[in-house]
Copies of this chain bind each other. A is one copy, B any other.
Amino acid sequence: MQGASPPHETGRAETVYRDIHLAIVEHRLSPGTRLPEAHLAHVFGVSRTLVRQALQHLAHDHLVVLEPNRGARIAEPSIDEVRQLYEVRRLIECNMLAEGASRITRARLAALRRKVASEAQANARGDTLASMQLAGAFHLDLAEALGNRILVDILGELIARGNVAIALYEQRGRDICRCDEHRQIVRLLVAGETAAAVSALRRHLLEIGESLTAARPPRGPVNLREVLGRAPVKPARKDRRAS
């Protein structure tokens, strides 16, 4: 029976989609980066047809933007968009927890606690990537505990978009999703203090959202000559991307 090396035999177009998706949420591809079809086709060893499919899927997820005749770029959500994003996450996650906390099984709570522990480890050894991944998974697990797949899908998309926002607006030196806060939420849930857990979650999401949207425009209209700090002459540098 179709036992293959990859997790579950997946179409090649979806492989391209997943790889790029992962690269974006892991910040290996920065917002604004252009994604020429021919280049990707060469990298993945497929035709442009499959690349286009993947890009359109990513565009629907709002992880890339697709401009007519201009191609694809990694999305650069505006401050306002990020604010709305976390507004929706607060709306969904907090009320979902408030209405469904009683349905979370003991086993699931234990799993959540383990996840927080992994997160703390990753955080301790400075692995911000793993930390961020686990933080996202924490929020998703919360939704999965309610057993509503539609909700999980929606939240998954919102979290992925949030990761792009983090890549754009994160200020260095600050942990985006402090595992302390996650641990506190789980602790309150275990103690049966639902209302307090909801408050903690709301405060948690508010902090993240504000720490992102309070930032000045970090890229884009940079100060230009301040960043370059040199003469305005153009040195004829031809440093295109290397193959």
The docked-state distance in angstroms from the alpha carbon of A68 to that of B85 is 33
Within 8 A of B (CB), among A79-102: 81, 84-85, 87-88, 91-92, 95-96, 99
The docked-state distance in angstroms from the alpha carbon of A158 to that of B92 is 14
Taking a contact as CB atoms under 8 Å apart, the answer to whether A81 and B151 are in contact is no
Contact code string A145-176 (vs B, CB < 8 Å = 1, else 0): 00011110010001000000000000000000
Identify the stretch in A21-29, A53-61, A188-196 within 8 Å (CB) of chain B at 4 or more residues.
A53-61
Taking a contact as CB atoms under 8 Å apart, the answer to whether A148 and B88 are in contact is yes
Taking a contact as CB atoms under 8 Å apart, the answer to whether A148 and B68 are in contact is no
A interface SS class: helix
Q: What are 15 A-B pairs with beta-carbon distances under 8 A?
A: A53-B56, A57-B60, A81-B150, A84-B148, A84-B151, A87-B148, A87-B150, A88-B150, A88-B151, A88-B154, A91-B92, A91-B96, A91-B151, A92-B92, A154-B154
Nearest B residue to A161, CB-CB: B150
The docked-state distance in angstroms from the alpha carbon of A154 to that of B60 is 12
Contact code string A23-64 (vs B, CB < 8 Å = 1, else 0): 000000000000000000000000000000100110010000
Q: Chain B residues near A126: list those with CB within 8 A.
A: none
Taking a contact as CB atoms under 8 Å apart, the answer to whether A150 and B92 are in contact is no
Q: A91-B92, A154-B154 are in contact. List 20 more A-B contacts (CB 8 A).
A: A56-B56, A56-B57, A57-B60, A60-B60, A81-B149, A81-B150, A84-B148, A84-B150, A84-B151, A87-B148, A87-B151, A88-B148, A88-B150, A88-B151, A88-B154, A91-B95, A91-B96, A91-B99, A95-B95, A150-B158
Q: Chain B residues near A218: list those with CB within 8 A.
A: none
Q: Chain B residues near A150: list those with CB within 8 A.
A: 81, 84-85, 87-88, 158
Nearest B residue to A94, CB-CB: B95
Interface assignment of A6: CB less than 8 Å from any CB of chain B: no
Give chain B nearest CB distance to A189 CB in angstroms: 18
The docked-state distance in angstroms from the alpha carbon of A53 to that of B150 is 23
Q: Chain B residues near A11: list those with CB within 8 A.
A: 68
The docked-state distance in angstroms from the alpha carbon of A154 to that of B96 is 16
Q: Chain B residues near A53: list those with CB within 8 A.
A: 56
Nearest B residue to A52, CB-CB: B53
